Structure 1
Amino acid sequence: MRLDLALTRLRFTKTRSTARALVEAGHLRVNGQRVTQSSRSISVGDVLTLPRGKSVAVVQLLTLPERRGPPAEAQSCYRTLDPTGETAIAKDNSQDIKGNLSP
């Protein structure tokens, strides 16, 4: 299945063109590799890393959705690998930055 189509059916984006723009901007990784082609094929077992607002979602595909159905149906197609956001790629490093800031 095409990556942009999967992102839309999994309800990570509202439209396929939004998914295509997200992928082509280089904001998505598949199995740790940056992807810039929305036509890239994905399969069951692949790990997707994608932006979700100010955080990062890391999910593994369990099945490929056949349609863009209700949210519960879409969520049953993947599992979140880092629900707390504690992995290095999903961690917010803003607290780790120390500099010469005046009070």
Structure 2
Amino acid sequence: MVKARTSAAALVSAGHVRINGVRETSPGHGVKIGDVLTIALDRNVRVLRVTGFAERRGDATSVRGLYDDVEAGGRS
């Protein structure tokens, strides 16, 4: 959703991320497979379900299979 970990941490710290409907403000909070993340980005809101984790950090195309876009009704 964002390009850098620092940007992701800033979103969480600012209260723009919910995990299973609960606002999270700690960037170190863990997520599990099946968790639903609601992320407010600019004027958009993304709702994603975690379906897996990567062994290593990768580019945007390598992580697309690790979440479902809940609002689109399927894979992103």
TM-score range, shorter chain: 0.7 to 0.9
> Which consecutive unaligned segments of at least 5 residues does structure 1 have?
1-11, 85-103
The count of corresponding residues between Structure 1 and Structure 2 is: 73
The code of the aligned residue for 1:70 comes to D
Deviation at 1:68, TM superposition (A): 2.8
The code of the aligned residue for 1:80 comes to D
Pair 1:21 & 2:10 matched: yes
User: Residues 57-93 of structure 1: CA distance to partner in whole angstroms, max 9, x if unpaired?
Assistant: 0000000122232323211000000028xxxxxxxxx
- Cα separation, partners in 2 of 1:71 and 1:17, compared to 1, 3 Å: closer
TM-score (norm 1): 0.64
The ranges of structure 1 where at least 4 consecutive aligned residues each deviate by more than 3 angstroms after the TM superposition are: none
Structure with greater Cα Rg: 1
Identity %: 36
Larger strand proportion, structure 1 or 2? 2
Higher relative contact order structure (alpha carbons within 8 Å, sequence separation ≥ 6): 1
RMSD in angstroms over aligned alpha carbons?
1.5
SS at match of 1:37: coil
Pair 1:48 & 2:37 matched: yes
SS at match of 1:40: coil
SS at match of 2:40: strand
Map of 1:94 onto structure 2: none
SS at match of 1:21: helix
> Which consecutive unaligned segments of at least 5 residues does structure 2 have?
none
CA distance in 2, matches of 1:71, 1:27: 21
